Structure 1
């Protein structure tokens, strides 16, 4: 399907028989309501640089209405049984699952992620996350006895969920699924960069029949709508995914109100390939991981650490793997990498490449020029840089683009030291033919999620970071517990 063939469905009507522009309303208290804010924002297809549609930006007034709705719904939702909450989440899972192809096509148009990835990851994983929390509601102990105390785990209250543009549906479900399972009500502010899928999500919410006010959304810019939401006195907790700089600011606002906050922030993850590893497989998988979603993944293995004795060989393999990465029309099934999300994002990535070369890195493949056959669209060629100083800008800062730094090390101790030489600690990988050796290295890494020999993703495992990669965890039991508070009743 060529890019120009993607058309977005007009998802809903404000009144029966009365069609209206689809992106002028927010979902508040169980209904589609006109936005109070007047600003309209163009939504661009990053592969064509054409405007898909325009969306209405919200205001502090929209935030106030949404928070008030969530506050009114809280007493009833918080006292539902786990079985009742599960029934609603099952209905939402099924409604969302029935829309997976449409969800994938919308995300491809809005983000530029290739359709093969939006189908398998961007649209499928949110449904899996919902399924996980449906299962957890069958087994989680919300009440337990410890000696003479009854420990009750209660919902924290009204949650402000603020999500990023790179996984526009998955990141939403990582927050709203556990929050709803815990008995919290939610006001969602999705990113205005890739907003279109949220209307489809809330059509599924309406179809699933969640009680009015339990789940609401308002779209808007961070400094206006995000700030109003985070600082609203009737919000009990904030869950944010995004940049470390914004996370610091949100953390400060929440600290001033003594309000719990969960922050999933940046990363500069290291992929350590030990000398006894299957080098060809480790490099191939490592390059694919670094370039997934055009490198716009917080947990991307953007630093590849290889033994000095095998360094030249590994660099050649990385170059070959990058050259096999098919870049182009994201609606084509054969495309492995699409554009980055926007013009400003492309400039940011290109600036990092220029800085890396200026600081002494050796450009192996890719670079700042657009791919020759893609004159239109925010494309960045898959880029590999060697001889990267571990203290350099490229090794220390999150690029959020398809740029891989290859760094040599002398021994296991040296590899761990380089990997831990970062203000971030989100994820990483270790490769070795000796499982115990790999586990020993993984145990010394200061990061929240480590894969051994390319292990499979686990949606039940806690996800989150050390150091400036954030506070708290998402997914699984740990993700559920972020939205609960404990009460001890002695008797």
Structure 2
């Protein structure tokens, strides 16, 4: 039996009981490590995080906490090669795809370290301006934001075991809030290894960072009113979290990122042969294949003018036919495995459901795997579907296949395009492709109400845009409706989730003192 990974709770390493749950290499099918948290005292662990970790973090200024983030960056950089080895073994990703996760985590931490340093030696953040409550200005109101005196519980998805932790932990720790991370079991090894390295380096106060691997049973029950929960995963699990007693009765604050049927939209001016048309094709193929389509921000629906439908399908399919799939240890492989055989079964079933209502424009399942046994490996080729018949497309707007699968749809006019996109009931991101900047601006605003981010690609940014699916710490990550209604990142806006807002009503002399200690120029506050 493989090694049982310990959990770090209550300031010490603790091993759960029982045989544990095995983690596998999704390409080779071999067992790697096991995880368990059976029998551990979560209530005591949470209390320790609040009382010890929280108090120690709040005693530091924002600039000092930013220094802690810089220290974490140094540790992760020093162990970067080992993280790539773990990702290859446990996630089955190519080195380029692993970099999206690992280097993305390091970059995000570094960015929050730089932002935090600019906040200086204060322990609170201003919210708006001081306003008079009396005609002579002698009595005033000043809104402040102070760190919540609870913990931040992160329940993360399997697709980003590195970035998924640190993009949440960076603003939480900078805010002065201790973190308890619960990574998805299938790929928990990388998360646990990173936490272990940071703990060993002694950068953070005791109790500031904890990790619990294994079952999620009982995870929410010990939460208290000033704790916060950030969840990334399915809408079904999100619903269970929202209805939990801790949320309903104790008002634990919750941030949700759930299912999302993200769109790519080709505007009418971008006809076949144009640069904007080619940019759409390139981005769709990239989003379908990076991390084997296992990104919450990946393109799932592709909308093109009806006159471009056939040409777009042919162009995307031609590029997909050149994607090699299989064992990422082989240098010729461009797309590795799904996270597990269970995920492979889910993608196969979801694709089959969509295929009953759509045409197959490119069938990735027909291509042979490179250096991988199809009976064992969780590898599947990219599949492009086409829903040219409007009456058969309903399932496309309601079913997300979390893998290398996307559907091409035609539209007749701008109002029809908007109506179809909104059938997704709220998404994390939509991308627009055009050479008409005026129309791009209008289209971005038209889509802003139903998307957390609108990514506009025009020819002048072809070489520098950050990508439809890449989540940058400077921009908002989240989305309304089906996407969960949550918000993450967006620069220092992310700190708001970990703070409590209060109005201080006092004499001018008191609010003048507050104004004198407030950091200047806090974006998003």
Deviation at 1:459, TM superposition (A): 2.2
Query: Pairwise mapping of residues 133-152 of structure 1 onto structure 2 (< 5 A)?
Result: 133-140=112-119, 142-144=124-126, 146-147=130-131, 148-152=140-144
| Residue 171 of structure 2: aligned partner | 178
| Residue 125 of structure 1: aligned partner | 104
| Residue 14 of structure 2: aligned partner | 33
Q: Which runs of 5+ in 2 are unaligned?
A: 132-139, 271-275, 507-525
Distance in 2, Cα, partners of 1:231 & 1:365: 47
- Is the CA contact 1:38–1:56 (under 8 Å) kept in the aligned structure 2? no
TM-score (normalised: structure 1):
0.89
Measured against aligned partners, the alpha-carbon deviations of 1:26-82 in whole angstroms (never above 9, x if no partner) come to: 1124432333x32411111111112123x2311363422321220222223223211
Distance in 2, Cα, partners of 1:326 & 1:280: 21
Distance in 2, Cα, partners of 1:43 & 1:143: 42
| Residue 134 of structure 2: aligned partner | none
Helix, strand or coil at the partner of 2:187: coil
- Is the CA contact 1:472–1:482 (under 8 Å) kept in the aligned structure 2? no
Query: Alpha carbons of 1:439 and 1:255: their partners in 2 closer, same or farther (altered >3 Å)?
Result: farther
Distance in 2, Cα, partners of 1:394 & 1:166: 22
2:265 corresponds to 1:272: yes
Distance in 1, Cα, partners of 2:306 & 2:339: 35
- Is the CA contact 2:27–2:377 (under 8 Å) kept in the aligned structure 1? yes
2:359 corresponds to 1:380: no
Measured against aligned partners, the alpha-carbon deviations of 1:294-317 in whole angstroms (never above 9, x if no partner) come to: 111111111111111111111100
- Is the CA contact 2:63–2:118 (under 8 Å) kept in the aligned structure 1? no
- Is the CA contact 1:56–1:219 (under 8 Å) kept in the aligned structure 2? yes
Deviation at 1:334, TM superposition (A): 3.9
Identify the range of structure 1 (341-350 vs 170-179) with the bigger mean alpha-carbon deviation. 341-350
Distance in 2, Cα, partners of 1:294 & 1:256: 40
2:499 corresponds to 1:484: yes
Query: Pairwise mapping of residues 425-464 of structure 1 onto structure 2 (< 5 A)?
Result: 425-445=427-447, 446-453=450-457, 455-456=465-466, 457=470, 458-464=472-478
Deviation at 1:150, TM superposition (A): 3.6
Query: Pairwise mapping of residues 62-211 of structure 1 onto structure 2 (< 5 A)?
Result: 62-73=41-52, 74-119=54-99, 121-140=100-119, 142-144=124-126, 146-147=130-131, 148-156=140-148, 157-206=150-199, 207-211=201-205
- Is the CA contact 2:64–2:117 (under 8 Å) kept in the aligned structure 1? no
| Residue 13 of structure 1: aligned partner | none
Query: Alpha carbons of 1:472 and 1:352: their partners in 2 closer, same or farther (altered >3 Å)?
Result: closer
Distance in 1, Cα, partners of 2:184 & 2:209: 17
Distance in 2, Cα, partners of 1:352 & 1:394: 11
Deviation at 1:372, TM superposition (A): 5.3
Query: Pairwise mapping of residues 407-426 of structure 1 onto structure 2 (< 5 A)?
Result: 407-426=409-428
Distance in 2, Cα, partners of 1:24 & 1:168: 15
**Greater C-alpha radius of gyration:** 2
Helix, strand or coil at the partner of 1:263: strand
- Is the CA contact 1:428–1:449 (under 8 Å) kept in the aligned structure 2? yes
Deviation at 1:369, TM superposition (A): 5.2
Measured against aligned partners, the alpha-carbon deviations of 1:111-167 in whole angstroms (never above 9, x if no partner) come to: 112112213x11101011111211221334833351223433112221111111001
| Residue 229 of structure 1: aligned partner | 219
Distance in 2, Cα, partners of 1:29 & 1:191: 21
Distance in 2, Cα, partners of 1:177 & 1:381: 35
Query: Alpha carbons of 1:282 and 1:438: their partners in 2 closer, same or farther (altered >3 Å)?
Result: same
